[in-house]
Amino acid sequence: MTPRQLALVRETFDRLRPLPKDFGLSFYERLFRADPSSKALFRGNLENQAAMFATALTMSVSGLGEAGYVPASVRELGARHQEYGVPDAFYGVFGEALLGTLEEKLGGDFTSEVREAWAAAFEALSAAMKDAGAQARAAKEGKAEAPETKPPGR
C-alpha cells in the first residue's frame, strides 16, 4: 500500500466510526447473497458475528501500516479461520462483499481511488491471513512450519 492509500483507508474508515452493528449485518447479507454456501461457515448469532466483524475490521485498519505491515491480530485471525475451515477461495468473495458494503455506506465518498485503496488494504490483510492459515495447517499436519513472513523494516 502506498502512503496515500493508507491515508484514504483510514480517513474513510473514520467516517464510519464507530462501526454500527448494521454495517456488519449489511456485510453478511451481501456476503450470503454472493455465496449462499458461505453461511455454513458461520455458526451462532449473526448479530454477535457482525459485532466481532466490526471489531476485527477496526483492529485491522488501526494496525495496518505502510509497506504491507499487517498486525499480529490479523495473522491470528487467519490461523483461526483455517481452523474454522475457511478456504482460501472464500477471501475473494469476502473482499467483494466488504467493498460493496463500504460503497453502500460511504456513498459518493467511495470514489475509484478509495476503492483501489481499500482493495489494496484487503489484499495485504487477506494475504497475511492466508499465510497464517497455511502455517497453522502445516503445523497441525506435523509439517515443518514455513518461516513467518515479516514486514519490511519491522
Alpha helices in 20-109 (DSSP H): 21-34, 46-63, 72-83, 90-106
Domain membership of residue 83 (yes or no) is yes
Q: Residue 35's domain spans which residues?
A: 3-140
- Report yes or no on 24 lying in a domain: yes
Q: Is residue 132 part of a domain?
A: yes
If one counts the domains in the chain, the total is 1
Which residue's entry shows cell 502506498?
2
Q: How far apart are alpha carbons 142 and 29 in whole angstroms?
A: 37
The answer to whether residue 66 sits within a structural domain is yes
Q: Is residue 146 part of a domain?
A: no
User: If pLDDT is split at 50, 70 and 90, which confidence band does 83 have?
Assistant: confident
Query: Is residue 26, in this structure, part of any structural domain at all?
Result: yes
Phi and psi for 35 in degrees, rounded to 5?
Answer: -145, 85
At 58, which CATH number? 1.10.490.10
pLDDT, one tens digit per residue, over 13-69 is 999 987 777 899 999 999 999 999 888 888 778 898 888 888 888 888 888 876 667
Note whether residue 154 is domain-resident.
Answer: no
Q: Contact at 8 Å (CB) between 98 and 27? A: yes
